[in-house]
Chain A
Amino acid sequence: MTMKRSKWGALAAVGVLVMAFGWLIYGGLDSNVVYFLTPKELAAKGVEGMDKPVRLGGQVKPGSVVWDEKALDLRFTVTDGTSEIAVHSKGAPPQMFKDGQGVVIEGRYGKDSVFKSTSLMVKHSNEYKAPEKGERPSEMYKSLMKSSGS
């Protein structure tokens, strides 16, 4: 009899633990899921999309890049052809960052309608493509290659 009762007690305890654990996981997921969005989708969300972790994918709008290399302050506009979002980022962009480049930006869309980036990645296709003529570093950075004398 006592065996049985303790067994039920243990089962109930495990049940409570599992439920508490599930609730914790649910809460954790709910507040930490990062959505992948395009500028159009983010704009369409309006206030609801603000101040939430988002991964924003699009192209760098040509002519929009303002880069202060002393303050390491970067501003540009990301576009998907229909909508545009202003982005503000701290730190040097990746070497391949340029006008028209596909980028993925992680961060939050602020109430001031500026997307604060915490990480900026250049999107590249999975296929490896050889650099075109004139784009090889030995051609682009001639003076650097010479200075080392090799």
Chain B
Amino acid sequence: MTRLLAYNAIIVATAISLLGAVLLPVAIRRGRRDWLTLGYAAVYTNFVLVTVATLALVWGLVTHDFSISYVAQVGSRATPLFFTVISLWGALEGSIVFWAWVLALYGAAAVYFNRGREGHLVPYAAVTLLLVSLFFHVLLLGPANPFQPVFPVPFDGPGPNPLLQNHILMAVHPPLLYLGYVGFTVPFAFAVGAMLSGEVASDDWIRLGRRWTVASWGFLTAAIVAGMWWSYEVLGWGGYWAWDPVENASFIPWLTATAYLHSVMVQERRGMLKLWNLNLMVGTFVLTILGTFLTRSGIISSVHAFTTGTIGYYFLAFIGIVLVAALFMVAGNSDRLASEGRLDAPLSRETAFLVQNLLFTAFMFTVLIGTLFPLVAEAARGVKVSVGEPFFNKMSLPLMVALLFLMGVGPALPWRKAAGEELKGRLLPGIVLGVLFAIGVVAAGGRGAYSVLAFLFAGFALGTNLQEFVRGANARVKAHGESFVMALVRLVAANRRRYGGYTAHIGVIMVAVGIAASSTFKTEQEATLTPGQTMTVAGHTLRFKNAWGRQEKQREVIGATMEWMDGDRVRAQIEPRMNYYPTQQEPVPTPDVRSTLRGDIYLSLMAFKADGSNVTVKVIWEPLVPWIWIGGMVVCLGAIVGAWPGGRERGRAVATPAAPALAEGQP
């Protein structure tokens, strides 16, 4: 029953998406408003139908309806309810269902909020959204069908991948990633809408898509940070980023999206880079699909690649179609994309954005080439290779350091042309803070050129970005006689986009400091200990108390209790463990981490004697790592501030001559 309901909902949704996508262009041609309304109704109906299918699948999982192929594949009666629900995205087919649902939700919302807009941009955007939806429905009816009948119906299933039910972050990372990835479909649809309706000359597609872009970017950032955190908390190697192809797959569109967020400002402000911005948006969308292809097609073996099958060809075909269509659309609009402005001076904010875009693009190509190279090598020469971490580190370190520097310079530079005297004042706090940071890292024993530079520029960027808040608030204090705190709140509220951006900058700086510190000063040591024995790593003493075993509902656990000592006092008990799942012979190592603002003590249980007489543990001192997670949250806060409804319009109102003190520094 449940199975047929879900399956038929997808079939009808497929038909409706197709109908809507055909009907809307006809409605535009003939100028039929009533048909237009009907086409929009197709978008909403699609959302309702996909919702029905998604809920039905969740219902099937919860009720252990093993006659549904997906449930038989990932369900098990022993799995706790929570992990049963989130196993919706625990394997290929379910993740495509979830994807289609997020897409339908975004599509319905985007059309609903813009339905009253005159012109043909929104109808064509709706066509784009329906066509992308259609692609995912075809996947669900073909190579990724979760609703196949199973006969005879098994009594129980194997349960989800143990690695994915071992940590709570698995409930957070995938939805965030999908909200980010899929969200870019909306601004992409507006870009396509602008190209098909011939409205690219105005910046309307950028304005309509701005909040969607910032929100998606925020979700994607959160997803990447949550993925790093998951890898850190679960995989037991004490790192958070390994330049693994699937990590790269999420990072590549993030790079183009970040470039886009900055370069659109040049277009809105100076009428430049119109062609470039269109390409960046198309590129970001294509890269999200490429990322899905890499992670879901099984072409790269990893925890994300669930199965191998024909699904990869569907993705490749879709990417090909989008690229060719985009090429024709961009070419057809090329005469409308001429630049209105030009660079006035080498020292100006637009130059900073230009260089920033160049660096982000180079970064994107570096990661893209490094990720795809093994596939190309295997296809062309038949050799199995992987591109090692050293490649990515070597290539990305100079780029990251240069970007930190730009993040400090950019906000201090005015549009058009910088005046030397004023610039000095705006850069000074950053320079002071940067030098302090650099001295600090050298005093702590950091000697590598890149790590000293990273701290220098991180301090510099922190100084200039903080200075923007202080300067703006002080101007308000003077103009309106408000208290400093009040002025700060009103300043941010009135210029959300700008100060949301600076907030995100500060978050990125925290992440950069965490990464730089932990890669420079990380200390690790492994030891075999008998009960009562201690070991010391980077000044932290740990004592092995005992080893133990425990039966839990869905697994068996072997653990070691370690005591983090402060002299003779036990500061904290840390319990690294190994979780044994009934469906897998190999245990899932489960590290235990104690966080402080100065850093983490990270413990992994490596081996143990069957009688508990000794254990081998790895102890890692991870300085400043928590700042990566805190910084990630600050970046998201910035995205929330920037995407919050209402900010922009009010920001404009404040920028009128009535408040000259503020207008002077407007972006």
Instruction: Name A's B-contacting residues (CB within 8 A).
Output: 17, 21, 24-25, 28-29, 31-36, 53, 55, 69-70, 72, 91-96, 122, 124, 126, 128-131, 135-138, 140-141, 143-148, 150
**23 pairs from A and B in contact (CB 8 Å cutoff):** A25-B365, A29-B370, A29-B391, A32-B394, A33-B385, A33-B391, A35-B383, A36-B386, A69-B528, A69-B607, A69-B614, A69-B616, A95-B586, A95-B587, A95-B607, A95-B608, A128-B158, A129-B585, A136-B580, A138-B549, A138-B551, A141-B610, A144-B611
**Which residues of chain B have C-beta atoms less than 8 A from A33's C-beta?**
373, 377, 385-388, 391
In contact, B556 and A150 (Cβ under 8 angstroms): no
In contact, A25 and B611 (Cβ under 8 angstroms): no
- A69 to B158, alpha carbons, bound, how many Å? 36
0 or 1 for each of B521-556: is its CB under 8 Å from A? (1 = yes): 000001110000000000000000011111100001
In contact, B551 and A145 (Cβ under 8 angstroms): yes
Query: Could you say which of A21, A24, A91 contacts B618, with CB atoms under 8 Å apart?
Result: A91
In contact, B551 and A136 (Cβ under 8 angstroms): no
- A93 to B365, alpha carbons, bound, how many Å? 37
B648 to A: closest C-beta gap in Å: 33
- A150 to B607, alpha carbons, bound, how many Å? 22
Q: From known contacts A28-B394, A34-B388, A93-B607, infer whether A135 and B585 are also in contact, taking CB-CB under 8 Å.
A: yes
Q: From known contacts A72-B526, A143-B611, infer whether A122 and B558 are also in contact, taking CB-CB under 8 Å.
A: no
Q: From known contacts A128-B158, A128-B584, A137-B580, infer whether A92 and B607 are also in contact, taking CB-CB under 8 Å.
A: yes
In contact, B607 and A21 (Cβ under 8 angstroms): no
Q: Check B423 for interface membership: any CB of A closer than 8 A.
A: no
- A145 to B608, alpha carbons, bound, how many Å? 13
Instruction: Give A32's nearest chain B residue, CB to CB.
Output: B391
A148 to B: closest C-beta gap in Å: 4
- A67 to B195, alpha carbons, bound, how many Å? 66
In contact, B395 and A25 (Cβ under 8 angstroms): yes
**Which residues of chain A have C-beta atoms less than 8 A from B387's C-beta?**
29, 32-34
B75 to A: closest C-beta gap in Å: 14
- A28 to B390, alpha carbons, bound, how many Å? 8
Instruction: Give A122's nearest chain B residue, CB to CB.
Output: B586
Complex A-B, nearest 5 residue pairs according to Cβ-Cβ distance, in ascending order:
A145-B549, A32-B391, A92-B606, A36-B384, A144-B549
- A136 to B557, alpha carbons, bound, how many Å? 11
Q: Check B661 for interface membership: any CB of A closer than 8 A.
A: no
**Which residues of chain B have C-beta atoms less than 8 A from A145's C-beta?**
549-551, 556
In contact, A150 and B582 (Cβ under 8 angstroms): no
**Which residues of chain B have C-beta atoms less than 8 A from A94's C-beta?**
586, 606
A61 to B: closest C-beta gap in Å: 20
B533 to A: closest C-beta gap in Å: 11
A107 to B: closest C-beta gap in Å: 11
B366 to A: closest C-beta gap in Å: 6
Q: Check B666 for interface membership: any CB of A closer than 8 A.
A: no
In contact, B528 and A28 (Cβ under 8 angstroms): no
In contact, B395 and A92 (Cβ under 8 angstroms): no
Q: Check B578 for interface membership: any CB of A closer than 8 A.
A: yes
Q: Which residues 148-207 of B have a CB within 8 angstroms of A?
A: 158, 161-162
Query: Could you say which of B158, B607, B610 contacts A143, with CB atoms under 8 Å apart?
Result: B610
Q: Check B326 for interface membership: any CB of A closer than 8 A.
A: no
In contact, A28 and B391 (Cβ under 8 angstroms): yes
Q: Check B362 for interface membership: any CB of A closer than 8 A.
A: yes
Q: From known contacts A25-B395, A55-B386, A95-B578, infer whether A137 and B556 are also in contact, taking CB-CB under 8 Å.
A: yes
**Which residues of chain A have C-beta atoms less than 8 A from B377's C-beta?**
33
Query: Could you say which of B161, B395, B578, B610 contacts A28, with CB atoms under 8 Å apart?
Result: B395
Q: From known contacts A32-B387, A144-B612, infer whether A150 and B586 are also in contact, taking CB-CB under 8 Å.
A: no
A12 to B: closest C-beta gap in Å: 15
Q: Check B583 for interface membership: any CB of A closer than 8 A.
A: yes
- A91 to B606, alpha carbons, bound, how many Å? 9
- A140 to B362, alpha carbons, bound, how many Å? 53
Give the number of chain B interface residues (Cβ < 8 Å): 51
Q: Check B659 for interface membership: any CB of A closer than 8 A.
A: no
Instruction: Give B615's nearest chain A residue, CB to CB.
Output: A92
Query: Could you say which of A31, A53, A140 contacts B610, with CB atoms under 8 Å apart?
Result: A140
A131-B580, A131-B585 provided; 16 other pairs, C-beta below 8 A? A29-B373, A31-B391, A33-B388, A34-B386, A36-B386, A69-B528, A72-B616, A95-B589, A126-B301, A136-B556, A137-B587, A141-B549, A141-B610, A144-B608, A144-B610, A147-B546
- A122 to B384, alpha carbons, bound, how many Å? 19
0 or 1 for each of B589-622: is its CB under 8 Å from A? (1 = yes): 1000000000000000011101110101010000
Q: Check B369 for interface membership: any CB of A closer than 8 A.
A: yes
A82 to B: closest C-beta gap in Å: 18
Instruction: Give A3's nearest chain B residue, CB to CB.
Output: B342
**Which residues of chain B have C-beta atoms less than 8 A from A96's C-beta?**
585-587
- A36 to B586, alpha carbons, bound, how many Å? 23
Q: Which residues 373-397 of B have a CB within 8 angstroms of A?
A: 373, 377, 383-388, 390-391, 394-395
Instruction: Give A91's nearest chain B residue, CB to CB.
Output: B526
In contact, B391 and A144 (Cβ under 8 angstroms): no
In contact, B385 and A144 (Cβ under 8 angstroms): no
In contact, A147 and B548 (Cβ under 8 angstroms): yes
- A137 to B548, alpha carbons, bound, how many Å? 12
In contact, A24 and B395 (Cβ under 8 angstroms): yes
**Which residues of chain A have C-beta atoms less than 8 A from B362's C-beta?**
21
In contact, A137 and B549 (Cβ under 8 angstroms): yes
In contact, A70 and B395 (Cβ under 8 angstroms): no
**Which residues of chain B have C-beta atoms less than 8 A from A147's C-beta?**
546-549, 612
- A27 to B385, alpha carbons, bound, how many Å? 16
In contact, B528 and A92 (Cβ under 8 angstroms): yes
**Which residues of chain A have C-beta atoms less than 8 A from B373's C-beta?**
29, 33
Q: Which residues 25-48 of B have a CB within 8 angstroms of A?
A: none
- A53 to B390, alpha carbons, bound, how many Å? 10
**Which residues of chain A have C-beta atoms less than 8 A from B610's C-beta?**
140-141, 143-144
**Which residues of chain A have C-beta atoms less than 8 A from B383's C-beta?**
35-36
**Which residues of chain B have C-beta atoms less than 8 A from A31's C-beta?**
391
**Which residues of chain B have C-beta atoms less than 8 A from A53's C-beta?**
388, 390
In the complex, which of the residues A17, A29, A55, A69 has the most CB atoms of chain B within 10 Å of its own CB atom?
A29
In the complex, which of the residues B161, B385, B387, B547 has the most CB atoms of chain A within 10 Å of its own CB atom?
B385
In contact, B606 and A150 (Cβ under 8 angstroms): no
- A141 to B606, alpha carbons, bound, how many Å? 16
**Which residues of chain B have C-beta atoms less than 8 A from A150's C-beta?**
550-551
Q: From known contacts A32-B391, A72-B526, A136-B556, infer whether A148 and B550 are also in contact, taking CB-CB under 8 Å.
A: yes
In the complex, which of the residues A25, A29, A126, A144 has the most CB atoms of chain B within 10 Å of its own CB atom?
A144
In contact, A70 and B528 (Cβ under 8 angstroms): yes
Instruction: Give B374's nearest chain A residue, CB to CB.
Output: A33
- A128 to B588, alpha carbons, bound, how many Å? 13
**Which residues of chain B have C-beta atoms less than 8 A from A124's C-beta?**
585-586
- A55 to B374, alpha carbons, bound, how many Å? 13
Instruction: Give A57's nearest chain B residue, CB to CB.
Output: B384
A35 to B: closest C-beta gap in Å: 5
Instruction: Give A139's nearest chain B residue, CB to CB.
Output: B556
Query: Could you say which of A25, A34, A144 contacts B366, with CB atoms under 8 Å apart?
Result: A25
Instruction: Give B390's nearest chain A residue, CB to CB.
Output: A32
